[in-house]
Amino acid sequence: MSRTFTVEHIVLAASRPLAGVIAAFEAATGDISGGRLQQELAAAADVEDFERRSRAYESDSGFMRFPDQNHGAWLALYGVAAKLAALAERVTGATVQ
């Protein structure tokens, strides 16, 4: 099966140094890294509890930063991890664990 996707590539030029852009981004977003996501996942009783706990880390912007990780742990709460793994294997041809 073949699909075609149209992508719009956007480049934004900043007049300030990269460190300033990163600092502004971090100030405008919440942060659930540093093991906090794993702690909330382990403490959550169910999907609704996990969503309530994780949303507490959102900033006023409604966004949060989180670490790169295996998302299968929280996707399993939704019952979709196996379906996503099968889809990823079909699309990429790689084994997903």
Element containing residue 89 per DSSP (H, E): helix 81-92
Q: Give every residue of the chain whose pLDDT is below 70, as ranges.
A: 1, 68-72, 81-82, 84-85, 88-89, 91-97
pLDDT of residue 28: 92
Total domains, the chain: 1
Q: What is the largest CA-CA distance in the chain?
A: 46
CB 76 within 8 Å of CB 46: no
pLDDT of residue 97: 59
CB 82 within 8 Å of CB 75: no
pTM of the model: 0.50
pLDDT of residue 69: 61
- Find the domain containing 86 and state its range: 18-92
Taking phi over 0 as left and psi of -120 to 50 as alpha, with beta for the rest, 71 belongs to: alpha
